[in-house]
Each structure stands twice: as C-alpha cells, then as structure tokens.
Structure 1
Amino acid sequence: MLLTAKGRIVAVLQENCEIQELLVQVEGRPLPEKAYNYLGFNHRLAVNDTIKLNITAVELSLGTGGHHFVIPELSGEQSQSIGHIMKLRYTPWQFSLLAAEEAASPFHDQLVAARSLEGVPVVAAPLHSMLPGIILGFKSCLNYSPKVAYIMTDAAALPIALSGLVRELKSKQLLDLTVTAGQAFGGDLEAVSIPSALLSAYHAIKPDLIIVALGPGIVGTGTTLGFSGIEQSWVLDLTTRLNGIPIAAPRISFA
C-alpha cells in the first residue's frame, strides 16, 4: 500500500544540509503534521510551498517511521557522484555513489587484501537509540578520548540523515566516522556489505571501537525471528571471523 496526499508547508522546524523537518498542512486533515524532506533527493523547500507527501506510515500509525515524507520533484537540483554503486537499487529513486570498495576510492587497495580487524572491539546493538549509551559507557572506562566508528545497516531507516542522534554525537565529537552499509546511505563512507563496512571503518581511522546498529526505526512482527534486530547475531559472527572482539548489547525489558 502506498498512500499520498497534497500538502502546504506551514513552518520549517529544523534544517541542515541533509534534511528539513517541516510542519505541513495535509489536505483533508484538521491540524498541521510533521514531514521530512531529504535534500539529497529534493531541493530546499520554504513556507507556503505546495508539496506531495507519502503519508503511508502515518495512516498505519507506525512508531519511529510514523511521519510524512516529501516526494521529490524531478526539477530539484541533482547531486553528482563519480561512483558506480547503486543504492535503492531497481526503484525509481536509485542513485549512484562512490563506495569504499570501488577502484576510485582511496581505500580500494587496502580493502582488496583486508581480512582482519586486528582485535578491535565491535558492539552489535539491536536499537539505534543505544548509540549514546554505548559510546559514553566506553568513553568512561578510558583516560583518553577514543576514536569511535558507527556502521549503520539497512535493517531500518535507510538515510542516515534521519538520525538526529548521529548529528548530535558528531557535533559533540563523540563519533568520528559513519559508514552506511548495504542499501543504507549518507554516511561518511559507503559500503556494499556489513563485513566490508567493518573493514572500511578499521582502515579509515583505526578506531578504538566500532558500533554496528540499524538506523532509526525497527521492524517487529511478534514472532521469534521476524524482527530486524535479529541481524545482531550475524554481526557478532562476522566480527569473530574478521578477528574483532564481538560484544552484544542486549535489549532487555522487565515490563
């Protein structure tokens, strides 16, 4: 199901070079509602602009994903990339970018032979919201400022631009590098797969800690295996096989 609606921008709540958070009066609704505009796909919008929205998640009353998203206009400014790796593949919105593994990347030669994380600890987390706690907890155990890399998988939100947490952690110099893996996009580095993302992060900054977690949002079905956080299991296995130190960040509830 894909539901769309027209809307008019009432206010620009927040914006940066990647994303705009908007207040939009959606056609047929009594009160203005929040919407996001990705500037990698669309031009910057202003108050009173008329737009078209994807309203599916709000109609389904979803959690983190329960916001409207602006459907971009093809007349918007087009971004350029020398890369050839496609993300959002085989959709009308597929686009190319430079992945760390490509021949044109400065990391290509290292990644051709790379096989080991050389004992770097890797925390596999099942929730995006765990990022600050993991970083601050790790930092509190050290008497120096550690280098931290975050690998965002494609199990939840795909654009890293949606993450206010990542922006805040980077602005406070608590996060040094982001790598978006698989179909996720927008990180400091792009990687085709999670194991390649791990090695890319290692060779890029020699981090003291790597965190692997999905982006904002999580898929759950009430079944044992049908939830996006299950990727934690194979991240731990990959870390072991790449000679890293696997650490599981458990999601525990006593409710």
Structure 2
Amino acid sequence: MIRWRKGTVVKIRREWPGAVELDVEIENDGAARALAYPALVGTPQPGDEVLLNTTALAMGLGTGGYAMVVAVPDRFPPDPSGPGHLVKARYTPLQATVLGADEQDSPHHEVLREADSVGGMPVIVADLHSAVPAIVAGLHLERPGTRVVYVMPDGGALPAWFSRSAAALREAGALSAVVTVGQAFGGDLEAVTLHTGLLAARLVLDAEVAIVAQGPGNLGTGTRWGFSGVSAGEAVNAASVLAGRPVASLRVSEADARERHRGISHHSLTAYGRVALARAQVVVPELPGDFGARVVAEASPLGERHELVRVPVEGLEEALRKSPVRLSTMGRGLDEDLAGFLAVAAAGRHAAALLT
C-alpha cells in the first residue's frame, strides 16, 4: 500500500504558501521531486535525510507524482500550540489537529452555532479543481473585485496547500480565502462539513460568491458512480438547503480522447441529473458551431430537474488568457480544449449577473 524510502534533500526547487518542492536523492532509486508541507513536517533543508512515501511517484500519477516527505527524522518541527480540537486526516499517520471555525473554542462559534442560511449567496459548483481559475476569470470579468471564497471538500487532495492554483489566485487577489471541509485541511478556515464551510464562507469571510470543487487529484474508475466529482451533486443540495443559489457548471470537452467525456461529461450528467435533488441553475454555454449545438442537446434532459440558463461566451477567452494561473485540465491547456474552459467561465459570468 505504501512504498517507503529514505532520501537526502539536494535542493529546494520552489515554495508557495503551505508547501515546499524539493529535489531529493532516493536510496537505490536516484533523483526525484519531492513535496513537503512545513506545517506537518517542518521545512527540510539541503543535506537533510528525509523519510518518503514514494507511492504516487512509482505509479506515475500526473497530478500527485511526487515523493511525499513524511518526516525529517533528525529535526522535528516544534509542537503545535493554541486551540483546536478538529482532527483531520483522522487515524492516518499524519493526522493533524486544527481549529475549526464551527467548534466551541473558535471565535466564530457563536456566529455559526445557530446559523442556517447563506442568504441567497450564489454557490458555483464544479467537479474538477481545474475549473476554479476559469470560473474566477469569468466572474471577475463581469464584476471585478467580487469577494470569492473557495470551499474545498475532501474528494481530491486533502491539504489545500497542494493547490498552486489556489495559492496563485490568492496572491493575485482574485480569490479572497479558502475554506477546507470534511477531511480536507489547510484552508484559511477549517470546517467539519460542507454546510458549515459554506456558512463560514458567507458569515465569517463575507463571501459574495462561493465556489465548491474538489481539490487537485480527482479519483475516477471509468464507471458511472465511481468518481469523486459525483459530490458536485451533493454540493448543489447543500447550497440549496442553506438558502443559497446553486449554479452548476458543466464539464465539457471537445478534445478528450475518452468518448464518455466528449460533449458534456457523463459525470456532470450523473451529478446533476441523478445526485442533485435540489433545483439548480445549470449554465449551458453558447458555444459556436456543431459542438455548441451538441452541448445544448445533451444538457436538455437536465431541464426536467433544473433551470437551464444559456450564457454567451463572447469575451471570455480573453479573460481566460489573462488568468494569473496557467489553465490546464487533464493535461490539456487552453488552446487544446478551449470549450471546456469557456463552459466553466460562463458559470462565473452567470454568478456575477446574479449579484447585480
């Protein structure tokens, strides 16, 4: 289940908030990239011996293809101090205690204790992490300065620190904060459930719009139900029950080699057509040509349960090209799968319109 290795840090490659990328020399395996989360293991330095989990590296995973630093045995970080009783990544070797926004010791507990509504806040839902920067681009094109909070559930990466996109969006001022919910951790605020995460986004962080999408590294099995992004349907339900306005973005592709993801991905059709029991506004992008007509036709059955909203895409490509984050989905960039990015950017455009 886990490939354990010892290695030596050769150099620090780069850093972003919450994470450090390293070059390491692994005993009997040669050079590799490694990733450390300083809040968990401290900050490794060149020459340090490190204990590594090389499972993802051996599997050749694109998103998570790092050797993960489990410990720096000769130099432990200081013990944590301060309040916090939520244990995340529970009962794993790296379980961590964090202060939950909703727990009794939190300064926000009283605000959240009886909270039951996000007051009509638009909640944009997507099934892939790669949608987040494109949604943000579409939203800010129409309403610059909108206070956007990303609520990250635990379907993909558990540490929010793994997301370079979220870090870059924060640095550029395009994203106001990150809330990590469930077993996910490392956000500006922590919460027990998606529901309290949305409430915290609205009532503590003053979000005007929330985006819910799993972190990097989604899990799929090529089956209808065996995909972590099916939780997008549950996010629609959570937003609705809290009196938010669910805005469902469609996963669209004109370039995916897998037929089940061409046009509208079967994952979107399952999440919104089967899992989402509450009514949402499903954004159908007005893409050009035959492909655009195909997307409209494939979205049509969702109209039995949801409101289909046709949204033009003119001007969105320019906004996407100005994104502070390099856009990539399943290894395809903006020029290789423009339709996919336009579709989710259109959801951001529509959410901005709901605020006017």
TM over 0.5: yes
- Structure 1 vs Structure 2: percent identity of aligned residues? 38
The residue that corresponds to 2:38 in the other structure is 39
Residue type of the partner of 2:90? Answer: R
Aligned residue runs from structure 1 range 211-226, under 5 A: 211-226=211-226
Measured after TM superposition, the shift of residue 130 of structure 1 is 1.2
The structure where helix makes up a greater share of residues is: 2
1:63 matched to 2:62? The reply is yes
The residue that corresponds to 1:125 in the other structure is 126
Residue type of the partner of 2:87? Answer: M
Aligned residue runs from structure 1 range 78-97, under 5 A: 78-97=79-98
Measured after TM superposition, the shift of residue 100 of structure 1 is 0.7
* Counterpart Cα distance in 2 of 1:45 and 1:73: 7
The answer to whether the Cα contact below 8 Å between 1:191 and 1:197 also exists between their aligned partners in 2 is yes
* Counterpart Cα distance in 1 of 2:221 and 2:82: 38
Q: With CA pairs under 8 Å and 6+ residues apart, which has the higher RCO, 1 or 2?
A: 1
SS for the counterpart of 2:21 is strand
Q: Structure 2 vs 1, CA of residues 83 and 39 (structure 1 numbering), >3 Å: closer, same or farther?
A: same
* Counterpart Cα distance in 1 of 2:91 and 2:19: 24
The residue that corresponds to 2:148 in the other structure is 148
Residue type of the partner of 1:6? Answer: K
The residue that corresponds to 2:191 in the other structure is 191
- CA displacement 1:114-133 (0-9 Å, x = unmatched): 11111110011111111111
Measured after TM superposition, the shift of residue 40 of structure 1 is 0.9
Measured after TM superposition, the shift of residue 179 of structure 1 is 0.4
- CA displacement 1:213-241 (0-9 Å, x = unmatched): 11111101011000111000010111111
SS for the counterpart of 2:100 is coil
More divergent stretch after superposition (73-82 vs 59-68): 73-82
Measured after TM superposition, the shift of residue 89 of structure 1 is 1.3
Residue type of the partner of 2:140? Answer: K
Please, what is the CA RMSD of the aligned residues? 1.4
TM-score, reference length from structure 2: 0.68
Measured after TM superposition, the shift of residue 16 of structure 1 is 4.6
SS for the counterpart of 2:71 is coil
Measured after TM superposition, the shift of residue 5 of structure 1 is 1.1
SS for the counterpart of 2:107 is coil
The list of structure 1 runs, each at least 4 consecutive aligned residues, that deviate by more than 6 angstroms after superposition, is none
More divergent stretch after superposition (206-215 vs 41-50): 41-50
The answer to whether the Cα contact below 8 Å between 1:54 and 1:68 also exists between their aligned partners in 2 is yes
Query: Is there any run of 5+ residues in structure 2 with no aligned partner, and where?
Result: 257-356
The answer to whether the Cα contact below 8 Å between 1:81 and 1:97 also exists between their aligned partners in 2 is no
SS for the counterpart of 2:13 is strand
- How many pairs are equivalent? 253
TM-score, reference length from structure 1: 0.94
* Counterpart Cα distance in 2 of 1:200 and 1:21: 31
* Counterpart Cα distance in 2 of 1:23 and 1:247: 41
